[in-house]
Amino acid sequence: MDLSVIDPISLFVGLVAAATPLLYAAIGELVVEKSGVLNLGVEGMMIVGAVCGFATAVTTGSPLLGFVVGAMGGAVLALVFGGMTQYLLSNQVATGLALTLFGLGVAALVGQPFTGVKSPRVAVVHLPVLSDIPVIGRLVFSYDLVIYLGIALVAAVWFFLNRTRPGLVLRAVGENHDAAHSLGYPVIRIRMMAIAFGGACAGLGGAYLSLVRVPQWTEGMTAGAGWIALAIVVFAAWKPWRVLLGAWLFGGVTILQLNLQASGFLSWLQSVGIPLQAQYLSMTPYLVTIIVLVVISADRTRASVNAPASLGKSFTQTG
């Protein structure tokens, strides 16, 4: 085994990019859940964002427009969920799952003419002096704009939830919708806005996949990223900065296990008497996420308090 071929800087740069689609989808879902709504349709919204973004960028030649339409696509799908769960009071878990099924189908239909088409390139912003600084330049200044905006989004969501009045109201709605309602807050309207925001973020995450990460449109290309995003919200205990941590952790372990494989780690293990299949290394991102969650949840005094109390419950305006 030759671990010296693993370059920690490249590893970090790689994980930041790998985590970005997860980060967008997860931070959006966090806001939705903070308002007391559980939308399990993240995968469906992501893939609709991916196809809308890709189709728009290809037809118009503008990746920027692609991102905008990708976000809109995710938001529109989310509003279907919102209408169903907020006005027709359908069950959130089942509606979210149905939304995934529906979204995957819609995306495949819309995307048919775009299979095998190449998208316009998204330019990486090169900061002339900064990105040339050794180490720091690559670690901090070598990304595309969408990545920086993703981190800014986390900061903005944190600020909104913890430092602004509307953020407080949104959390109040998520904690106890009946109380919020009796205080005169429009519970349903607030939740609809949160749901649309969540959909737009998931759509952006999907568009990032189809326009930057891959970049290409193929059916099923999100390959379960929406589910991981859902898990990251839980992992983060509904705290914005921990979403960033969770996404980076998951992305990081994924990249690390690929690096270990490429550097001959499995051969080394075999030479010391542990013949391990590659499948076991592929499990590590999931196992590490569980283990870290267990470690940080074990503090019984603080954990789980943060889960919005009304999560997943329908609100009816009676009387």
149 contributes a contact to other proteins by CB under 8 A: no
Q: Does residue 318 belong to the site contacting other proteins (CB under 8 A)?
A: yes
- Read off the amino acid at residue 169: V
8 A C-beta contact, residue 24 and residue 247: no
Residue number with CB closer to other proteins (108 or 193): 108
Neighbours of 266 (CB within 10 A): 18
Q: Of 66-74, 131-139, 162-170, 273-281, which part binds other proteins (CB under 8 A)?
A: 273-281
Q: CA of 188: how far to CAs of 72, 131, 255, in Å? A: 20, 46, 41
Rounded to whole angstroms, how far apart are CA atoms 198 and 291? 27
- Taking the C-alpha atoms of residue 35 and residue 308, their distance in angstroms, rounded to an integer, is 8
Please state the separation of Cα 63 from the chain's center in Å. Answer: 20
- Write down the residue that tokens 């099924």 correspond to: 101
Residue 185 interacts with other proteins (CB under 8 A): yes or no: no
Binding residues for other proteins restricted to 274-313, rule: CB under 8 A: 275-280, 282-283, 286-287, 289-290, 293-294, 297-298, 300, 303-304, 307
- Count of positions on this chain that bind other proteins (CB under 8 A): 88
Site residues for other proteins, 39-58, by CB under 8 A, read 40
Chosen residue from 180, 209, 249, 253 binding other proteins by CB under 8 A: 209
Residue 22 and residue 250 in contact, taking contact as beta carbons nearer than 8 Å: yes
Q: With CB under 8 A as the contact rule, which of the stretches 53-61, 98-106, 144-152, 199-207 interacts with other proteins? A: 98-106
**Contact characters 219-258, other proteins, x per CB under 8 A:** xxx-xxx-x--xx--xx------------------xx--x
Residue 104 within binding range of other proteins, rule CB under 8 A: yes
Report the distance separating Cα 253 and Cα 249, nearest Å.
Answer: 6
**Whole-number minimum distance, CB 164 to other proteins, in Å?**
27
